[in-house]
Amino acid sequence: MPYTPTPSTLKPAEVAVALVESAVLKHRTRLDMIFFKAFMAGAMLSFGGLLSEVIQGGAAGLTASNPGIVKVLGGFVFPVGLVMIVLQGQELLTSNMMIFPMAAIKGAIPWWSIPLNWLVVTFGNLTGSLFFAAILVKYSGIISTAPYDTFVQTFAIHKAGDPQWHQIFLRGIGCNWLVSIAIWQAAGARETISKIFAIWIPIWIFVSCGYDHVVANMFSVPLGIMFHADVRFSVDLTSHFVSLIFITVDHRRIHPQVSALLSPSLIPSP
């Protein structure tokens, strides 16, 4: 019998099936476990956020001469957080904003599971981010000296103080579109190195371009406040809920993988 090599990636319809099955598994998981995984995801993403701020904050001279390079460098290291989240199987709000509506549209989970999961995961991500910011950054003193402390304040103001609400709103849409692409590509990859690359490139793009990620801002904005930055209320969380609608409609109308997802022959109803 001739040897048939296994494809390195899943077909789009197979990715859709895998993501729906993932949502079903999350739906059936106890809420306390979901919260703990969300807590861990908030901390893991904050590791990436901290590394990005360390690189950008420590490059004041390069920022003055070539700010674009510094943004690209800061964006390059940020994806380590999402890589750890995906490989560990933790719970991130922005990825669940894609997969739960997919499963609900298919009828694999009830609609009430969407707000319930998002509520639990939101508070878990927020708790993990605040714990990391307060205990492992602020009170540890690792960036409490110049130029890092000043950059932390400036970065928080840049995220939540300078932009108009509609700008933050639109940045959230751009961000979660790219995050959803990263999750989709990672689900289609069959081995670890491919998953890392599949995640890395879209996340690198969104951070370098300055889009707003709600969980990343759960770390960076409170951290700036802890360092006495003067920031106001941000609507980036609302923008991510709107980005959910945008991404869902986009997937259904443009991408054939979600059209395949909606075919009743692909996934047996529970």
Structural domains of the chain sorted by starting position, each given as residue range(s) with its CATH number in brackets? 12-261 (1.20.1080.10)
Nearby residues of 44 by Cβ (< 8 Å), 6 or more positions away: 81, 82, 84, 85, 88, 90, 128
Number of Cβ within 10 Å of residue 16's Cβ equals 29
CA-CA-CA-CA dihedral for 141, 142, 148, 149, to nearest 10: -10
CB 106 within 8 A of CB 261: yes
Distance CA 89, CA 40 (A): 10
Question: Which tens digits make up the pLDDT trace of 135-156?
Answer: 999 999 999 999 999 999 999 9
CB 204 within 8 A of CB 75: yes
Average pLDDT over residues 83-97: 96
Average pLDDT over residues 98-115: 95
CB 123 within 8 A of CB 38: yes
b/e sequence 171-184, b meaning 16+ C-beta within 10 Å:
bbbbbbbbbbbbbb
Residue of 239 and 50 predicted with greater confidence: 50
Confidence of residue 161 (pLDDT cuts 50, 70, 90): confident
Does the pLDDT value for residue 234 go beyond 60?
Answer: no
Q: Which of 174, 157, 131, 122 is nearest to 227 (CA)?
A: 157
Does the pLDDT value for residue 36 go beyond 90?
Answer: yes
Confidence of residue 3 (pLDDT cuts 50, 70, 90): low
Q: What is the pLDDT of residue 103?
A: 96
Helix (H, G, I), strand (E, B) or coil at 147: coil
Q: Which amino acid is at 83?
A: V
Confidence of residue 233 (pLDDT cuts 50, 70, 90): low
Provide the mean pLDDT of the chain.
86
Distance CA 94, CA 110 (A): 19
Q: What is the pLDDT of residue 83?
A: 97
Nearby residues of 89 by Cβ (< 8 Å), 6 or more positions away: 37
Q: What is the pTM of this model?
A: 0.85
